[in-house]
Amino acid sequence: MKVLCTNGVKSVMLDLVPAFERANDTKLTVTWGSTNSLLKELETGATGDLAVLTAEVIDDLIARKAVVAGSRVDLARSGIGIAVRQGAARPDIATPEALKQALLAAKSVAHSRTGLSGVYFPTVLARLGIADAMKAKIVIPDPGTPIGEVIAGGGAELGVQQISELLPVAGIEIVGPLPAALQKITTFSAGVLTAAKDPGGAKALATYAAAQFPPLLKAKGLEPA
């Protein structure tokens, strides 16, 4: 069975996949990536049995009949956070004004190009009125490079990404989530692909994930859906 899974819940899925394989005497092939990159793969001919993406994208795929109507299962929610290299000073980001000053004081800020946080963060800069001031400080790594790894390696002073994607990376510390007024909470959902070769197995995996996710979420930087 083939699964396309967003990096936003990768840390949880990595724990669940082996147990599901053992319990069902099956083998899963998982393609990891940002929701946007996986959507592009589906749009250009990629196939699979189950997609684990954002709720909005699953709904869009249902509308386009690429995902089976009624098969959406919500798994988790995640916010966007700020990270620094381990041992570095942790700036105050508790309020929009504090975040603004922290960003302006930073020498460099990294965010992804295609991930949800990377697409959203420029709107935060615009709302804070510092988009132009930050242009020379922005670091955007190659697609697929975790922002946490950029920070751990000294490639940028601050990193912006889903907290669930930052948490597993060694060598960094999460300063905290974006202020509530600027936060974007994302719901991650599973959906059975219309072209699935094993729709029954895909549905079983979605049901299994929904049941097993809750006790694992907090440690992975996620919340119940």
Instruction: Check if CATH label 3.40.190.10 holds for domain 2-77+186-224.
Output: yes
| Mean pLDDT across the chain | 96
Q: Decide if 121 contacts 80 (C-beta within 8 A).
A: yes
How far is CA 172 from its chain centroid?
A: 17
Tell me if domain 2-77+186-224 and domain 80-182 are identical in fold. Answer: yes
The structure's pTM equals: 0.85
pLDDT of residue 101: 98
Cα 79 to Cα 93: distance, rounded to the nearest angstrom: 14
pLDDT of residue 114: 80
pLDDT values of the chain reduced to their tens digit, one per residue, 225 residues? 999 999 999 999 999 999 999 999 999 999 999 898 999 999 999 999 999 999 999 999 999 999 999 999 999 999 999 999 999 999 999 999 999 999 999 999 999 988 889 999 999 999 999 999 999 999 999 988 999 999 999 999 999 999 999 999 999 999 999 999 999 999 999 999 999 999 999 999 999 999 999 999 989 999 999
pLDDT of residue 15: 94
Q: Decide if 221 contacts 78 (C-beta within 8 A).
A: yes
Between vectors from CA 221 to CA 216 and to CA 225, what angle results, nearest 5°?
Answer: 70
The label of the residue with tokens 């509308």 reads 63
Domain ranges of the chain: 2-77+186-224, 80-182
Dmax (CA) of the chain: 55
pLDDT of residue 212: 95
pLDDT of residue 16: 95
CATH architecture designation of domain 80-182: 3-Layer(aba) Sandwich (3.40)
First to last CA, the chain: 25
- Spatial CA neighbour of 151 closest among 164, 162, 141, 163: 141
pLDDT of residue 116: 84
Give the burial string for 23-51 (b: 16+ CB within 10 Å, else e). Answer: eeeeebebebbbbbbbbeebeeebebbbb
